[in-house]
Structures are given as structure tokens and as C-alpha cells.
Structure 1
Amino acid sequence: MQCYVVGGAVRDELLGLPVQDRDHVVVGATPQEMLDAGFRAVGKDFPVFLHPKTHEEYALARTERKTAPGYHGFSFHAAPDVTLEQDLIRRDLTINAMALGDDGVIVDPYGGRRDLEARLFRHVSEAFAEDPVRILRIARFAARLPEFRVAEDTNALMRQMVEQGEVDALVPERVWQELARGLMARRPSRMLAVLRDCGALARILPELDALWGVPQPSAHHPEIDTGAHMMLVIDYAAEQGHSLEVRFAALMHDLGKGITPPEQWPSHHGHEGEGVALIGEVCKRLKVPNECRDLAIMTAREHGNISRALQLRANTVVSLIERCDGLRKPERFAQMLLAAECDARGRGDETHPMRFEAYPQREYLLHALDAARGVNAGAIAGRLADRRDKIPEAVHQARVEAVKVALQQEEQPEPAAPR
């Protein structure tokens, strides 16, 4: 029996990155021998065991064979005569097909160290094409390791997989899982660029893919292209260390611009409402968590209003807060403002002055929210106990007055529609 650390732990150690989890491959053992050694069996599809002390995963060396479309369509063979090299060749990328023995020697039969130095994502074998999840994984790796690029032959293989419909067999839960992990990585835009380059984005998220080639007003968007803008927005959200909910809202905020008719370019009037419907469809299809869905819908609907918040009358500000349920869920309202700030800063490029301009709208609306929440609605309801139909408007007006005082507002006309 020989044990090896394999996969991401070896890769990250060679890159000088923190090692999160260690997976192990065991060569020359049977399931019974693992149980006799105190390991606990946990694998359903193939023999995987937990170490009795460290609780790290140990899998018996195995081979696999494609038996049906999609990433579930595999049969596995694990036996003591399966070699380490046979186990490693079934892996996705050369940089993930290295093993570290107990003696400290790295086993690298497929050139993983070479590709690490060249900053390349390269498939190990043609078996890569049998599992469409690997396209998602490469895209997610690109977000985590943005200095890497996809090898030309690997990208060609990915395009072939898309053309053959393999990506269409992906289940929604797995698509969302990989998308969410990529959004939480260093540079989420790299994930989208990889998916788009091989054609997978158009199959997985056609609503998002539609943003490229759609122009925006150059006065407010020096980058002009809506897809390019969205990439800057999500990268800024990542740089700020924002939550998944905020990053997903940043990703989805301009979705409506992908379906506005060309005669409305580049102004895109009404794209906020169009985006709400599209986001609902995306979230239903990919089974996106409710917290991400709700924040994304709110941000798409309101980001134009937030951008002109300093010109809104107190009544409109309170209506915005109430419409977003900010009084009951102030934390979510604050998250929406963070996503809107990312939208404001994702302009031009990473060095453009717009990226560093002041963004007073967020503190302004948070101040208004605090004032509105300070109104004692219960006391007002008590005074109007015999006129219950008047309570909602009375509470609303009290909030408006409180916001006027807090923001030191005078009556002013509403500004033009958001850009």
C-alpha cells in the first residue's frame, strides 16, 4: 500500500499558495484493507475513505470509462493493480495530475510542473472531453489564477465539447456551484472570458452572453461595451472582498440591456425592468439561492435610482427604502448600495478616474435609512387606532419628514430618468 497527496494540494504548494484541503490516492490496497487499517468508508460511487485521525479523504486508485452523456455518465474501476499513472491520467489538467509521495518526491508523468511554469491550463488526455464539468472548472481556475491562460489545443477541445452539446447536459446545481466559486475568486471576469471564448457562456448563461457588443453612452461609460462594463464591475466587487450576494448582483445588474432594441441604444431606457424579468428566469433555471436572487433583482431594478439619489426628493427616497423592504432588512439594503457602487466604479478600465471618484450616494441613503427607521410607527398607529386606514400614509409621511430633516433637504424637482 502506497499513499500520495494528489491534485490541488500539490499544485498550490508549488505555486506558494495556501493549501486548503489535501486529497490522497492509495495504490495497491483493497477496500477491506482500508477498513482494517481504521479508515471509514464514505464514497458512494467509488471507494473513498476518511483517515481515522486527520479525517482527510483517501481514494483508492481508479480508472474510469464514459458510459452516457453528461458528467454523471461514468463507470469506475478500483483495484490494487491500478497504477498511480493510470489514476492521474483521468484528471482534468496537467497541473492537477501531480502526486507527492511520502518520500517528498513529486510524481509528474504528464508535465504539470512545466505547465505551472508556463502558466498554462492544459488537458491531460482526450478523456477531458468526456466530462463537461471540466469546462466550468477551468473557467473557475482562471478566476482564481488569472495569470494563467488556456492552452490552444485545450480551448479547441472545449469548443468541440460545446458544439457537440456536452455542456447542455450539465445540471443546474453544478453550474451554480462552479459559477459561485468563480465569483468568489480573485478575478471573476477571467471565468467569464474563458467560458465565452469556448462558446460555453452562450449555452449556460445566454442572457449574460448577450451583453457583449451592446453599446452604452460613452459619456458615462468610456468602455462603451456593456459586457466589458460588467466585467469591470464584478472585478471591482471582488477587489473589495464583497459577499457572494453582492458579487452576483453586480454580475446581473445590467442584464436588461441585452434585450433592449437597437433603436434604444445606447440609452437603454427601461432596461431595469427588463432585467428584473431576466434575472428571475436565470435564477429559476440555475436554482440560485433566494438571497442572491432577491438582491440581484433589487439592484437591477434600483441601480439607476441609486445613482441619482442625491437629487431625489425625500418622499422618493422613502418610497425607495420601503419598496426595497429596507426598514425590515437594512443589511440587504446596504448590500444593494455596495453593488450599485461597484456599478459606478466599473467604468473605463482599472485606472480610469471614474473608478476613484467619490460615491456619496451610499452614505447618503444609509443616513436616510437610519432616519426612516427612527420613526416610531407603533406610536403613530396608537394615535390613529380609530382610523386604521390612515395609519400607512401617516407613517410614510412621518418617515418623509424625518428624512428631510436628516438630509437637510428643501423641496426640489425630481431629476431626469436614470442613465
Structure 2
Amino acid sequence: MQIYRVGGSVRDALLGRPVQDRDWVVVGATPEQMLAQGFVAVGRDFPVFLHPGTREEYALARTERKSGRGYRGFVVHAAPEVTLEQDLARRDLTINAMALAEAPGGSGAPQLVDPYGGQRDLAARVLRHVTEAFREDPVRILRVARFAARFPDFGVAPETRQLMREMVDEGEADHLVAERVWQELARGLMEAAPARMFEVLRDCGALARLLPEVDRLWGVPQRAEYHPEVDTGVHLMMVLEMSAHLSATLPVRFACLTHDLGKGTTPAELLPRHIGHEERSVRLLRKLCERLRVPLECRELAEVVAREHGNIHRSASLGPAALVRLLERCDAFRKPERLDEVLQACECDARGRLGFAEQPYPQRARLEQALAAARSVATAEVAAQAQARGLAGPKVGELIHAARAAAIAARPELLPPADT
């Protein structure tokens, strides 16, 4: 039995990056031997075990053979005769196909096992597939794109780019299931340079298959006085990069990705104006979320941002009553903590324009202060007074709305300039 540390922890150690999770491969062992040493079996599709002390995952060396379309159709073979090189050959990229073996006798530095040139590609800053087996798993297209977002100074090897295009043309990406697409998309959005993920997916044609609502935004013009970058797709990537710069959460980053979907369906005769694109964005967003089974937290925030981002940008000109209505549409009174995420997504949208990256976004502070003022109203007291006057139902709501507007109006710094 031989045990090797493999995968991302080896890569990150060589890059001098913090090592998060450590994965291990065991060569020359059977499941019975692992269980006899106290390991706990957890794998469903192939033999994986938890170490009895560290609880880290140890997988028996295995090979995989494609038996169907998509990524589910695999026959897995795990046996003592499977070598380390055979196990590493099934991995996606050379930089992830390295292993560390303890020096004989446990003394000295661990020995690097690198049969596919991963260390060379780390030095050259290249993402390169290991073998032609790459084409058997379309999830690897998404993984390459995600690693491009994690390592923005790495390029994709020309032969890997070509292989990814061939896989898309052969229809492999069409067989990806929603859960895996969302899982990789979510992880890519949270990387250091999320725009790189979409650049790579566009380059191989996968974005048009997986997220056609996003793909069609490139080449769609916007009014240059508001968007000096003009192209809607370019703007979208600038917004995503701003979300990473501001260390935004996943729901915020997803909202940034989907806030302008409706601009891809603007009639050509109306361009570069996009009248009513917000409502079109909401409709497209709902279909996208249903198709990818996007979590509710991301879905709800993205819908508010898609519908209201234009109104939030223009909120400096809104009076107290209009501000309360905007806050109500954002569900800010029921979920005040979510308003901060809505406003952060809108700030990313405003600053994700050519020449605007360092511009302030005063709408955010004003709306946060307006919400605080409106929430200072004792709504229970207003409702009790209304009931004492024989009022009920919508009339009570109108009085609460008026009281909140009055609370905002009492704050001169929250009122719009006189000339608006």
C-alpha cells in the first residue's frame, strides 16, 4: 500500500498559496484493507474513505471509461493493480495531475510525482488538459473556465481550447445537468477574476449553450453618454470584476451577472436605447433560474436588482413618498439586511463602466439612511391609532406609508435637490 497527496493541495503548495483541503490516493490496496485499518467508507460510485483521525478523504487509485453521454456515463475500475500514473491520467489539467510521496523512511522532503508536466505548466502559467480522456467529461469545460477565473494570469493551451470547442460542437455540453452547471458557475463567480470564466466559455462556444441569455449580450450597443464602453457584454464583465473588487457575496455576484439580460432582446430599431429592459430581464432571469435550479437566495436578490436597478440609480431625484415605495418594492422593511446586497449590486453596475471605477455611489448611503429613518416609525402604534378611528386593511397600510414618508421628510439631507 502506497499513499500519495494529490490534486489541488499539491498545486497550491508549489504555487506558494494557502492549502485548504488535502486529498489522498491509495495505490495497491483493497476496500477490505482500508476498513481493517479503521477507515470509514463514504464513496457511492467508487471507493472513498475517511481517515479515522484527520477525517480527510482517501480514494483508491482508479481508472474511468466513458459509457454514455454527459458526465454520468462512466465505468469506474478501482483495484490494487491500478497505478498512480493511471489514476493521475484521468484528471482534468496537468497542474492538478501531480502527487507528493513521502520520502523513504519518512525523512527528507516529500518527492514530487509529475508524469504529465504539471510543474512545467505552473511555471509557464498554462492550463493544459492531461490526455484525450478530457473529452469524456463535459464538466471539465466548466472547470477549465473556473480555473481561468482563479488564476487570471494563466492562459488556456491552444490544444485545450480546440478540444473544448470540439466537445461543444459534438453536443457534450448539452448533456450537462443543472446541478453541476450551477455548482461550477457559482464557484467561478466567487473566484478572483470571474469575468475570465465567461471569456473562456464564450471562446469555446459553451456560454451560448449553457447561458444563452448572457451570451447574446455581446455586440449589443448602449448609449455612449451613459456607457462609454458601449458594448453590453463588455459592461457586464466590468460589473462582475467590480463585484470581485468589492468582495461581494455569491447572491450579489449572480445579481450582477443577470441584471441586464433584457438588453439582449431589445428590438434592433430601438438600439442603443433599452426601454423596458428591466421587466424583460426579470422574465429571462426567472427562466434561467428555473433551468439551472438556482438557490432561492440568489434568485430573489437577482430579481429585485434586475427590476429596480434603474430606479435605484435615479433615486437621488425621488421624494420621500417615492423612496418609501421603492423600499417597499425591494422588500426592505421585511428584509432590511438584503437591501445592502441590492445596493452593492447596483453600485457594481454603476461603477462597472469605462472611466467610472473610482466614482462614488451616493445612492447607496442615501437609501440606507432613508430605510433607517422609515424603520424608526412605530408601526404598531400607527396601526393602533388607525383601528381606534375605525380604519382597517389597506387604510392602515396607507397611514404607515405616510408616517414613513414623513420620517424621511424630516431629514433634510435625504430630500432631493430643489431643482429636481
TM-score normalised by length of structure 2: 0.96
Which letter maps to 1:374? S
- 1:215-230 equivalence runs, <5 A: 215-230=221-236
CA contact (8 A) 1:61 1:87 kept: yes
Partners of 2:259 and 2:3 in 1: how far apart? 48
Q: String of CA shifts for 1:268-318, please: whole Å, max 9, x gaps.
A: 111011101111111111011111011101001111111111111211111
Equivalent residue in structure 1 for 2:311, among 286, 289, 305: 305
2:250 aligns with 244
1:392 aligns with 2:393: no
Unaligned runs of 5+ in 1: none
Percent of matched pairs sharing the same residue = 60
Q: String of CA shifts for 1:16-70, please: whole Å, max 9, x gaps.
A: 1111111111111111111111111111111111111111111111111101111
Partners of 2:114 and 2:93 in 1: how far apart? 12
Partners of 2:414 and 2:129 in 1: how far apart? 61
CA contact (8 A) 2:317 2:416 kept: no
CA contact (8 A) 1:70 1:170 kept: yes
1:212 aligns with 218
Partners of 1:57 and 1:322 in 2: how far apart? 48
Q: Which moved more, 1:398-407 or 1:334-343?
A: 398-407
Which letter maps to 2:398? E
Partners of 2:295 and 2:370 in 1: how far apart? 29
Q: 1:413 offset after TM fit, Å?
A: 8.8
Partners of 1:70 and 1:96 in 2: how far apart? 22
Question: Any idea what SS the aligned residue of 2:75 has?
Answer: strand
Q: String of CA shifts for 1:217-257, please: whole Å, max 9, x gaps.
A: 11111111101111011111111111111111111111110
1:192 aligns with 198
CA contact (8 A) 2:318 2:416 kept: no
Equivalent residue in structure 2 for 1:253, among 245, 252, 259: 259
Which letter maps to 1:4? Y
Q: Which moved more, 1:382-391 or 1:165-174?
A: 382-391
Unaligned runs of 5+ in 2: 104-109
TM-score normalised by length of structure 1: 0.96
Q: 1:147 offset after TM fit, Å?
A: 0.7
- 1:12-91 equivalence runs, <5 A: 12-91=12-91
Question: Any idea what SS the aligned residue of 2:410 has?
Answer: helix
2:163 aligns with 157
2:365 aligns with 363
Which letter maps to 1:387? L
CA gap 1:381/1:414 in 2 versus in 1, 3 angstroms = farther
Aligned length: 411
CA contact (8 A) 1:368 1:407 kept: no
Which letter maps to 1:55? R
Partners of 2:415 and 2:120 in 1: how far apart? 67
1:320 aligns with 2:320: no
CA contact (8 A) 1:246 1:339 kept: yes
Which letter maps to 1:71? Y
Question: Any idea what SS the aligned residue of 1:355 has?
Answer: coil
Partners of 2:361 and 2:334 in 1: how far apart? 25
Which letter maps to 1:383? Q
Partners of 1:189 and 1:45 in 2: how far apart? 34
1:169 aligns with 175
CA gap 1:407/1:182 in 2 versus in 1, 3 angstroms = farther
Partners of 1:144 and 1:248 in 2: how far apart? 17
Partners of 2:10 and 2:76 in 1: how far apart? 24
- 1:281-300 equivalence runs, <5 A: 281-300=287-306
Equivalent residue in structure 1 for 2:406, among 397, 401, 404: 401
Q: String of CA shifts for 1:383-408, please: whole Å, max 9, x gaps.
A: 11111142111111111111111244
CA gap 1:320/1:414 in 2 versus in 1, 3 angstroms = farther
Partners of 1:52 and 1:96 in 2: how far apart? 26
CA gap 1:136/1:49 in 2 versus in 1, 3 angstroms = same
Q: String of CA shifts for 1:201-229, please: whole Å, max 9, x gaps.
A: 00000000010000111111111110111
1:379 aligns with 381
1:143 aligns with 2:145: no
Which letter maps to 2:149? A
CA gap 1:164/1:379 in 2 versus in 1, 3 angstroms = same
Equivalent residue in structure 2 for 1:121, among 127, 133, 154: 127
CA gap 1:126/1:410 in 2 versus in 1, 3 angstroms = closer
Partners of 1:147 and 1:117 in 2: how far apart? 11
CA contact (8 A) 2:316 2:416 kept: no
Which letter maps to 2:406? E
Which letter maps to 1:396? H
CA contact (8 A) 1:184 1:238 kept: yes
- 1:325-336 equivalence runs, <5 A: 325-336=331-342
Partners of 1:180 and 1:407 in 2: how far apart? 42
CA gap 1:414/1:43 in 2 versus in 1, 3 angstroms = farther
Partners of 1:11 and 1:55 in 2: how far apart? 21
Question: Any idea what SS the aligned residue of 2:100 has?
Answer: strand
Partners of 1:35 and 1:408 in 2: how far apart? 69
CA contact (8 A) 1:30 1:79 kept: yes
Q: 1:134 offset after TM fit, Å?
A: 0.3
Which letter maps to 1:388? A
Which letter maps to 1:109? P
